[in-house]
Amino acid sequence: MQQVDIPRTQTRDIVDALKARIFSGELRPGTRLIETELARDFDVGRGPVREAFRVLVGEGHLQSHAHRGVLVRRYTREELLEMGCAREVLESLAARLAAEKTLTEEERSALRASQDRMNVAEAEQDLDTYSRENRNYHTLIETIADNAHVADLIERVRVPYLGLRLPQLFAVDQLRQSNEGHRLVTYAILAGAADVAEAAMRSHIRAGNAHTAQLPDELF
Amino acid sequence: MQQVDIPRTQTRDIVDALKARIFSGELRPGTRLIETELARDFDVGRGPVREAFRVLVGEGHLQSHAHRGVLVRRYTREELLEMGCAREVLESLAARLAAEKTLTEEERSALRASQDRMNVAEAEQDLDTYSRENRNYHTLIETIADNAHVADLIERVRVPYLGLRLPQLFAVDQLRQSNEGHRLVTYAILAGAADVAEAAMRSHIRAGNAHTAQLPDELF
DNA sequence: GCAGATATTATTGTTGACAATAAAGTAGTT
DNA sequence: AACTACTTTATTGTCAACAATAATATCTGC
């Protein structure tokens, strides 16, 4: 479940470091990144920094304007909804694929364990944990679905930066409703009911999108 | 319908040139690309070439191994099927979105014109033209669907390199069947029948995937 | 002749200096 | 004060030389 040989290179290090900073919220959307500064910070030349930028632009985490540098990607509400639309079909595809497969015993228990953790977080109304476990849950389903390309595409329509602030906007009844959706998906996959899994996941994601649509303007 | 200001930069030029060579089949999958050679060919330094590589790796056209350079991406049959799976849901989503929209008169006639061109190619059994028009057709639907993210994702699960050889493998009755699918999609979109458009596109793509599954081994 | 160690070579990884560009600032005119 | 033309500055784009790595060829001892 782990690739062994990833020769470290400066570009790779910078890519990972920047990605971590973006995901953690340390680098806010719209922040401009200056090659020289980062080169100094990381104590490397500008070449590797530039290449890291190109990688991150490719992954959609940065946006670049020629001769004007790069900045941490901003999402408009419209973009988020466009992405949600794609996520809906992709994640429900993943759920279907997972349900269609004959699961190994490890996969079954991993799925149950993940669901349990979310249940606990729900019961304790621990929004932070729930948010983290939610992400793990979806990743787990992608892993089980065993389709690297689909997983890759889903990764592209996930929004990283709201991660830290979204929990605070998550009301408790939304949490219950969200986990209700998860349980449906979980049991459908365990039961091998592909159609149910797909449909359940679709409406689960759709509910999330409806939530995004109502986010206050100041978040964009 | 056209963005105006794209400041040309060497990296951009190289990216475009390489992409063209890959799509045209001039650069075959598995071909190793050497920075120095390309730098000489394009008469530039190695920096821009390296950055272009990173962009193309990000777009999935090249694959890179640290310290061992990049090569034109190879697809295994399994990968192609994985991608087809994702394409299925994404393209049918695009068809649905297109059908749900109230089309402008331009969009309606563009769609009819595209369908007409494919009909002609079908009648004349011009596989080459049909293949090209087929691609344009799908792109047109994405444009009409008006969801940049979905279009972007579809671009990622399209296989460029078989473009030139696939026509030769395309039997005439497959061509007829393929265009039959297009007609269904076209009329469904024009009629605003979202469900039909989605379902028709889905089975259209699925038929294509079934075809890929049966490609001879020597193509991989 | 062959396995292993050692040198050679081709190629990528990295850097610091220079050129080109766009933005910010300044002066001069009305 | 507002407008333009020019100058300055910050930053990106580019290059050519050097360092590090992996693949290849050569040598050595058996």
Q: Would you call A21 exposed, middle or buried from its count of C-beta atoms within 10 A (0-12, 13-18, 19+)?
A: middle
Asked if A66 lies within 8 A of B7 by C-beta distance, the reply is yes
- Across the range B115-121, mean pLDDT stands at 97
pLDDT digit string (tens) for A191-220?
999 999 999 999 999 998 898 888 777 777
Query: Mean pLDDT throughout B127-144?
Result: 93
User: Can you give the pLDDT at residue A163?
Assistant: 52
pLDDT at B103: 97
Report residue A50: phi and psi, to 5°.
Answer: -60, -40
- The answer to the question of residue B87 being in a domain is yes
pLDDT value for A168: 59
Supply the CATH number for residue A101's domain: 1.20.120.530
Are residue B41 and residue B81 in the same domain, yes or no? no
A28 and A133 assigned to the same domain: no
Whether the CB-CB separation of A98 and A144 falls below 8 Å is answered with yes
Question: Average pLDDT of chain B?
Answer: 91
Our CA angle for B158, B130, B181, nearest 5°, is: 75
- Per-residue model confidence (pLDDT) at position B163: 52
Put simply, the answer to whether A97 touches B79 (Cβ < 8 Å) is no
- State the amino acid at position A123 in one-letter form: A
Per the domain annotation, does B118 fall within a domain? yes
> B54 is written with which tokens?
């990173």
pLDDT at res. B4: 46
**Which of B43, B72, B101 marks a domain boundary?**
B72
Q: If residue B133 lies in a helix (H) or strand (E), which one and from where to where? A: helix B127-145
Cβ atoms of residues B171 and B96 within 8 Å: no
SS3 A71: strand
Return the residue of A nearest to B147 by Cα: A82
Give the count of alpha carbons within 13 A of B166, CB side only: 21
Q: What is the three-class DSSP state of A104?
A: coil
CATH number at residue B22: 1.10.10.10
Same-domain status, B55 and B91: no
Same domain, B54 and B99: no
More reliable by pLDDT, B215 or B175: B175
Instruction: State whether A89 and A14 are in the same domain.
Output: no
Using the structure, give the distance in angstroms from the CA atom of A19 to the C1' atom of C6, rounded to a whole number.
42
Residue that wins the pLDDT comparison between A44 and B216: A44
Strand partners, B62: B72
- Cβ distance A156 to A172 under 8 Å? no
Q: Give tens-digit pLDDT for B53-102.
A: 999 999 999 999 999 999 999 988 899 999 999 999 999 999 999 999 99
Q: Within a domain: residue A1?
A: no
Are residues A126 and A194 both part of a single domain?
Answer: yes
Produce one character per residue of A94-133: b if its CB has 16 or more CB atoms within 10 Å, e if not.
Answer: bbbbbbeeebeeebeebbeebbebbbebbeeeebebbbbb
How many structural domains comprise chain A? 2
Q: CB distance B51–A55 less than 8 Å?
A: no
| Window 23-82 of B, Cβ < 8 Å to A | 47, 50-51, 54-55, 57-59, 66-67, 79, 82
CA geometry: angle B138, B19, A53, nearest 5 deg? 105
For B12-30, what is each residue's pLDDT tens digit?
999 999 999 998 888 989 9
Structure token digits, residue A56: 């991150």
Instruction: Tell me: pLDDT of B198 over 80.
Output: yes
Q: Are residues A150 and A55 in the same domain?
A: no
Q: In what order do the strands lie in the sheet with B62-64?
A: B32-33, B70-72, B62-64
Q: Nearest residue to C13 (CA, C1')?
A: B67
CA-nearest residue of chain B to A155? B153
- Distance from C-alpha of B140 to C-alpha of B146, rounded to nearest angstrom: 10
What parts of chain A have a pLDDT lower than 50?
Answer: 1-4
Task: Tell whether B192 and B107 lie within a shared domain.
Answer: yes
What is the domain extent for residue B64? 10-72
The nearest CA of chain B is from the CA of A28 a distance in Å of 22
pLDDT given for residue B94 in this prediction: 98
pLDDT of residue B2: 37
Q: Is residue A14 part of a domain?
A: yes
**Structure confidence at residue B24 (pLDDT):** 85
pLDDT digits (tens, 9 = 90+) for B139-195: 999 999 999 999 999 999 987 766 556 655 667 788 899 999 999 999 999 999 999
- The one-letter code for the residue type at B186 is T
Q: Which of B72, B99, B119 represents a domain boundary (last residue)?
A: B72
Distance CA A177, CA A212 (A): 15
- Supply the pLDDT for residue B179: 95
Residue at minimum CA to C1' distance from nucleotide C14: A45
pLDDT at B82: 94
